Amino acid sequence: MKLFYKPGACSLASHITLRESGKDFTLDGVDLMKKRLENGDDFFAVNPKGQVPALLLDDGTLLTEGVAIMQYLADTVPDRHLLAPTSSLSRYKTIEWLNYIATELHKGFTPLFRPDTPEEYKPTVRALLEKKMQYVNESLKDNPWICGARFSIADAYLFTVLRWAYAVKLNMAGLSHIEAYMTRMTERPAVAAALKAEGLK
């Protein structure tokens, strides 16, 4: 398998999941501004959406959209317990969090990353995100991982997005549960390996 990624982007969640899965894979970096691969090839020829992550399977099938990629990988290695089986309510609680992260957190950061976002709009965006950070912090109060006692693919995604919160300097003061969570995440060998491979701290 080959993962097309950009360092620190949302593709980091799929990268972490790959390493947690124990599967063999390679990485191919993408310049999203130029839509070019590391060798200069046109990324649109690989993924017509022009976005990362994209996972090229061994049979030549291309799978896109991070949440789909993570669920696929988790389901191929049930012994790793990255996502509960379909008979379990905890599976759907994980999917609930995946959806929240994708729609409320991930997309919430987009205006802060776009150079054409009016400056007068950004304080409102930041305030909304900071309120959601408080919700995440409270949700981590009683458990080490976002869905309970066991690490799941939702953690790979949440960690990725929380890194952005620190990168854009949201007010994270007093969010001690998030701070402890980030430490736990970086101590996981798969997470540390993914960060190192992408040249991230």
Domain ranges of the chain: 2-80+191-197, 89-188
pTM of the model: 0.97
What's the first-to-final CA gap in the chain, in angstroms?
Answer: 25
Q: What is the DSSP letter of 14?
A: H
- Given the candidates 1.10.3720.10, 1.10.10.10, 3.40.109.10, 1.20.1050.10, the CATH classification of the domain at 89-188 is 1.20.1050.10
Measured distance CA(158)–CA(105) in Å, rounded: 9
**Beta strand 36-37 pairing with 54-56:** unpaired
- The per-residue pLDDT for range 20-67, each reduced to its tens digit, is 999 999 999 999 999 999 999 999 999 999 999 999 999 999 999 999
β partners of residue 145: 148
To the nearest 5 percent, what fractions of the chain are helix, strand and coil? 55, 10, 35
Q: Is CATH 3.40.30.10 the right assignment for the domain spanning 2-80+191-197? A: yes
Residue 191 has pLDDT above 90, yes or no: yes
Residues 6+ apart with CB under 8 A from 9: 32, 52, 53
2-80+191-197 against 89-188: fold identical: no
pLDDT category at 201 given cuts 50, 70, 90 is: confident
- The per-residue pLDDT for range 87-108, each reduced to its tens digit, is 999 999 999 999 999 999 999 9
Question: Within 13 Å and on the Cβ side, how many CA atoms surround 70?
Answer: 32
pLDDT category at 156 given cuts 50, 70, 90 is: very high
Question: Within 13 Å and on the Cβ side, how many CA atoms surround 49?
Answer: 11
Average pLDDT over residues 155-173: 98
